[in-house]
Amino acid sequence: QVQLVESGGGLVQPGGSLRLSCAASGSIFAINGMAWYRQAPGKQRELVATITYQGRTNYADSVEGRFTGSRDNTNNTFYLQMNSLKPEDTAVYYCNADVISRSLRSDNYWGQGTQVTVSS
């Protein structure tokens, strides 16, 4: 009943920027915590950033100061602004959210993933 759809990935040169979006739709009452993960080939999925309902954020040390998470509660959309990108940022990025349905039950959902490639 709830779907997270990601967009904004692509190819960018080192030092460049990308903005990822994750739009939630379905039987949504509210969205609590949101998060961004990434997974590079042969590596485990890692947590990149978290966003609370109030928009408070935390970041992995590897992206601190370069990535910024935000959310638009009106449109049930959250974002990851990625600046000063490095080749080691190359990965599939996944959004994740704890969603409160109209029945007031909480469930966790994943987006389909979007590829980010940082290369010259």
* pLDDT tens sequence across 105-115: 999 999 999 99
Close Cβ partners of 65 (under 8 Å, ≥ 6 residues apart): none
Give the residue-averaged pLDDT of 35-42: 96
* pLDDT tens sequence across 51-74: 998 889 999 999 999 999 999 988
Average pLDDT, the chain: 95
The H or E element spanning position 108 is strand 106-110
The H or E element spanning position 25 is strand 18-26
Termini Cα distance of the chain: 40
pLDDT at position 55, please?
A: 87
**Token digits for 40?**
């590079």
